[in-house]
Amino acid sequence: QVQLVESGGGLVQAGGSLRLSCAASGRTASDYMMGWFRQAPGKEREFVAGISRTGGARKYADSVTGRFTITRDNTKYTVYVQMNNLKPEDTAVYYCAASQRKFWVPVLVSEYDYWGQGTQVTVSS
């Protein structure tokens, strides 16, 4: 089992940047595909970005491509998402997740096995 703790959320103006971190403990973080999801009030949780075990493969939602970058540092058991040019529609609770899938970066909520508690990101216009 792995425990995930997100940090780095906050309030930022439109056009600004934030970097979220997800620290993993328990089993070695490099055993898992990792992903970021978000959930806005009244909406379903949606995929934002995902990264393979070694970091060699990444996937992004169309809405964040070109603005967000997911990375991981397996020596620190930490996954990051750098969010640039933030928009009010990026406002949501952001969740880190770990998946035991082996062959491709998963994008569905159901494909992830462990979740963090979430961190709030609010983008003002």
For residue range 51-93, list pLDDT tens digits in order: 999 999 999 999 999 999 999 999 999 999 999 999 999 999 9
pLDDT single digits (tens) 18-60: 999 999 986 676 789 999 999 999 999 999 999 999 999 999 9
Residue 112, pLDDT score: 97
> How would you label 89-114 residue by residue, b for 16+ Cβ within 10 Å and e otherwise?
ebbbbbbbbbbebeeebbbebebbeb
* Alpha-carbon separation of residue 26 from 4, 17, 72, 88 (angstroms): 9, 30, 16, 35
pLDDT on residue 103: 87
Res. 115: pLDDT tops 90: yes
pLDDT of residue 24: 93
* pLDDT for position 51: 97
